[in-house]
Amino acid sequence: MAGASIMETLFQRNLEDLIKASRQQQVRESLFISKSMDEIRREIKSTDLHTKSIALQKLSYLSSLHGLDMSFAAFHAIEVVSSPQFLHKKIGYHAITQSFNDDTPVMLLITNQLRKDMNSSNHFEVSLALECLSRIGNIDLARDLTPEVFTLLSSIKAFVKKKAIAVVLRVFEKYPDAVRVCFKRLVENLESSDPIIVSAVIGVFCELSLKDPRSYLPLAPEFYKILVDSKNNWLLIKVLKIFAKLASLEPRLAKRIADPICEHMRRTGAKSLMFECIKTVVSSLSEYESAVKLAVVKIQEFLVDDDPNLKYLGLHALSTIAPKHLWAVLENKEFVIKSLSDGDFNIKLESLRLVMAMVSESNVAEITRVLVNYALKSDPEFCNKILGSILSTCSKNLYEVIVDFDWYASLLGEMARIPHCQKGEEIENQLIDIGMRVKDVRPELVHVSRDLLIDPALLGNPFLHNILSAAAWLSGEYVEFSRNPFELMEALLQPRTSLLPSSIRAMYVQSTFKVLISYVHSYFLHKENVASSIDSGNQASEVPESFSQRKFPESSDLTSEAPACSEQDGDFNPRDSNQSFEDLSTENDGDVTVTHGQASTSASLGKNSFTQESIVNLLNLVELALGPLSRSHDVEIQERTKNVLGFIDLIKKEILNPIIQGEQYLAREGTEASNAVKLMRDAFSKELGPVSTSAQERVAVPDGLTLKEDLSDLEMICGDALLPLSSSFSLGSPQYGEKFDAPLSNLQSKDESEPLKESTSLLAEHRKRHGLYYLSSEMGEIVSNEYPPANDPMSQDKLSDDAADLVKLTEQSVASKKKPNNVKPRPVVLKLDGDEIAIAAKKPELNSGMLSGAVRDVLLGSEALPTSSRSNLSDKPSSNKKGKEKLNTDLPLESKDNLGGEEMPGGAASSRKSKHRSHGKERRHKSVGKNGEEKEDNSQKKETQKSNHRHGRHKPRQKADGPLNVVAQTPVIPDFLL
């Protein structure tokens, strides 16, 4: 056996051989690697540690650079680490740091080895163990090795000490209770004479304060000393990073550090330190005018530098300061615009950001003009960046910067035509959004849509399909503004629409339907007018201009029969019909069905295009184009097409067989068709508006309703069903959102108001789901009773009160939005409170997400300790101020030792201030005193005292993280810098 292992050792390939061999295998490298893996798998099982370690080294090489899995070797790595030889240890630790993670099953086995190596006399071994801990340390390792780390923190070898300090970060992060043990020694090291040690400590604090700066406010004096005294750039950068965090918490601190930072800015030659100073000023000291001015001067120096890095960073700093000091950007406006055409993508992007920051109501048109021109010239990627940032800037805060929406609508149209444009979705959303929010822009939108729809070239670009979908929707929805519906119809039905994806085709079909209805409706209206004018003896058929105003009917009866009649009318003769047209129209005048809710357009009527021929042509065109689609495989298209064709059949009979009607003088049929048209018209003329995402929440629970406990089950079920719904509809896709909002709220309020049995609730859920589906696809035109369309007053009767409130609220918000001083009055942008609520609600969530998990660990970890004092703490997040005070009285020792003092009530601030300072000192004295005694044989009593002390240190953190953040902020923090 021994002989075999020697032979193995002798003939084993070491790492260098492996690399050499692999470099010779140019072609079949993967084969070679798999062969070497087999070799390694064999060798690693060897009993000889040397063989094993070489195999492990080869394995970690292959894993790190060729991406091979080495988790199978975890146990072998531990074996290698346990070797007495340094080389083996080194290889073993390297493999461990590279491959171990929290899921590694053998992790527990290395605790003892690490401990042994940390106590080793060879400081390189200690360093290996520390490195290993800093990389793979989990909670168990951190807990078990805290005493060793604590001992090493006071090692006399700087080589070991700096690594022990650095490892503390990982230990704190994983095992927050270690703070109680190690924190003091860590702080002591701040006063070390060795700059390397100080820099290591500051590095640790920099990392820690990034996650939870509040806890480190008490250390500000120490940091300040370094800021003023140190000459080490590296150290200064880190201290500045810490201060950037602290200064935003404590304004007096900001005042204090402003001067030294300016001093550094004036004096230093190091760009990195300079940049850090600038960054600190622009991010945290933006109130200090002189500092900001100096920083801007320095930024300008960066900007004119030849080094692209400095240019980039300068622009970056400018964009940080832009929100607060726009003048700094405006001062460098020319440079920024020039940088848009820089060769460096980063610089271009930064300057784009800055340009967008400069946008305001007055200059938005010019700036976008410049940018669109740049977009036309630049490469696709940057072009889309430009378009994206124009879109996002203009739509910010509900189109805050836009005054002239007609201009914006045409800009959107123009952007759609830029060759590289890939922002179809965003443009689609905005087109529809402004269509719904801003009434005044609709004619222009229809105009823009028409131009887009009519251009057959655009259909070939898949990126534009979304925009075309929006255009189709807009021209269908607001067809009354269209100048030439016939032309629009042709555009919607052009052959190249077969290039569109089916969902968008369905949209086209739907729009066709709307345009058709509108057209036929106008036709009937026209007929009536002609008829009435004939009656009154006035042959000159004038267009009633009074009809051009769009009215919204108060009620509509949607329960009437849908145009289901699909009778075939094969042998019609369009020419015949022409003569009887007059007859028909004269007959019609008796029953003026159109009493209210007329919506007609002066423009379309004015063209006098409503001859019998034109309408027949139109119907034929639609039938011809949609005929093939009725056999489409896509359900949406098929169904919508069938609707249109069915409708055409219904009305064609009347229009094309006028002889019968004319002869028999029966108004009934005519009434039927025009009634149907009118009904459809009414259904379509319901205005769709943006719906606030929080609208549902406003529906109050009716009085006298007691929600039983077992409804919680129901909630669970419905909660599932509702969640995806509410998240899926937003203003981003309003054409769906509204469709199902009303029925949804209906159903939901039903759910809430009636203590339903579970089966009914399931039914409701089912309906809700399917309601969503049908409604969104059917565009709400032919709806049965269960699924009333959006904004149908009838359906809203049930919630009328709440809805009225909502309307009032929206009106208020709209009213408040108006700006009186505009030269050209800005059109009203329909704004919902929900928009803001949604935004505001998101923010705290985000913040709490940003609070690092580590500090929360600190809190949770310490609370979990079974000390009597902790029980008080543990319920603090839920309880409030009271709990805080109680804590103070309960634990006098703690509050005395506490060096943070943030939780002190505000009133007592000044009186306690001095006391506090002395505490700080006392603490230091004490710690110095303690240091002597505090050896490994710490008595139990000391331990508790110390723990209390540390614990006190802890408390401010808890404060800071708790829900009472704001309360904790107000109490006065002692002037640390005195």
Interface residue list for another protein (CB under 8 A): 6, 9-10, 15-16, 19-20, 23, 50, 57, 61, 63-65, 67-70, 85-87, 90-91, 94, 100-102, 122, 124, 130-131, 134-136, 159, 162-163, 166-167, 169-170, 196, 200, 203-204, 206-207, 210, 233-234, 237, 241, 271-272, 275-276, 308-309, 311-313, 343-347, 349
Q: Which is nearer to another protein, 128 or 441 (CB)?
A: 128
Written in H, E and C, the secondary structure of 126-186 is HHHHHHHHHHHCCHHHHHHHHHHHHHHCCCCCHHHHHHHHHHHHHHHHHCCCHHHHHHHHH
Six-digit token string for 833: 């409170």
Q: Which is nearer to another protein, 11 or 937 (CB)?
A: 11
Do the beta carbons of residue 814 and residue 830 sit within 8 Å?
yes
Q: Which is nearer to another protein, 158 or 499 (CB)?
A: 158
Beta carbon of residue 120, minimum distance to another protein (angstroms, whole number): 12
Range list of H helices, 657-706: 658-664, 667-685, 695-698
Q: Which is nearer to another protein, 50 or 953 (CB)?
A: 50
Do the beta carbons of residue 742 and residue 792 sit within 8 Å?
yes
Question: What dihedral angle (degrees, nearest 10) is formed by the CA atoms of 243, 249, 250, 253?
Answer: 10
Closest among 844, 872, 874, 878 to 859, alpha carbons compared: 874
Q: Which is nearer to another protein, 313 or 616 (CB)?
A: 313
Q: At a CB cut-off of 8 Å and minimum separation 6, what does 88 contact?
A: 49, 50, 53, 80, 81
**Sign of torsion, CA 574 578 580 581?**
positive
Q: What b/e readout covers 727-758, taking b as 16+ CB neighbours within 10 angstroms? A: eebbbebbbbbbbbbbbbbbbbbebbeeebee
Closest among 757, 752, 763 to 786, alpha carbons compared: 763
Beta carbon of residue 84, minimum distance to another protein (angstroms, whole number): 9
Q: Which is nearer to another protein, 15 or 851 (CB)?
A: 15
Q: Which is nearer to another protein, 12 or 796 (CB)?
A: 12
SS3 772: helix
Six-digit token string for 135: 């990389």
Q: Is 901 left (phi over 0), alpha (psi -120 to 50) or beta?
A: left
Q: Which is nearer to another protein, 66 or 369 (CB)?
A: 66
Tell me 287's DSSP state: T
Distance CA 142, CA 107 (A): 12
Beta carbon of residue 86, minimum distance to another protein (angstroms, whole number): 5
Beta carbon of residue 308, minimum distance to another protein (angstroms, whole number): 4
Question: Helix and strand tally (H, E) in the chain?
Answer: 49, 0
Q: Which is nearer to another protein, 166 or 717 (CB)?
A: 166
**Sign of torsion, CA 439 443 446 451?**
negative
SS3 745: helix
Q: Which is nearer to another protein, 170 or 653 (CB)?
A: 170
Q: Which is nearer to another protein, 161 or 957 (CB)?
A: 161
Beta carbon of residue 6, minimum distance to another protein (angstroms, whole number): 6
Distance CA 718, CA 761 (A): 8
Beta carbon of residue 283, minimum distance to another protein (angstroms, whole number): 10
Q: Which is nearer to another protein, 16 or 567 (CB)?
A: 16
Do the beta carbons of residue 790 and residue 741 sit within 8 Å?
yes
Distance CA 572, CA 239 (A): 90
Q: Which is nearer to another protein, 161 or 437 (CB)?
A: 161
Q: Which is nearer to another protein, 32 or 234 (CB)?
A: 234
Beta carbon of residue 133, minimum distance to another protein (angstroms, whole number): 8
Strand ranges inside 604-707, DSSP E = none
The pair phi, psi for residue 193, each rounded to 5°, is: -85, -15
How many C-beta atoms lie closer than 10 Å to residue 710's C-beta?
A: 10
Q: Which is nearer to another protein, 382 or 547 (CB)?
A: 382
431 burial (CB, 10 Å; 0-12 / 13-18 / 19+) is buried
Beta carbon of residue 273, minimum distance to another protein (angstroms, whole number): 8
SS3 603: helix
Q: At a CB cut-off of 8 Å and minimum separation 6, what does 565 contact?
A: 646, 649, 650
Distance CA 226, CA 741 (A): 60
Do the beta carbons of residue 44 and residue 76 sit within 8 Å?
yes
Q: Which is nearer to another protein, 8 or 741 (CB)?
A: 8
Six-digit token string for 392: 């996002």
Radius of gyration, alpha carbons of the chain? 38
Q: Which is nearer to another protein, 111 or 760 (CB)?
A: 111
Beta carbon of residue 752, minimum distance to another protein (angstroms, whole number): 39
Distance CA 395, CA 397 (A): 6
Distance CA 625, CA 634 (A): 16
Do the beta carbons of residue 374 and residue 340 sit within 8 Å?
yes
Do the beta carbons of residue 220 and residue 246 sit within 8 Å?
yes
Q: Which is nearer to another protein, 58 or 450 (CB)?
A: 58
How many C-beta atoms lie closer than 10 Å to residue 47's C-beta?
A: 12
The pair phi, psi for residue 214, each rounded to 5°, is: -55, -35
Beta carbon of residue 151, minimum distance to another protein (angstroms, whole number): 18
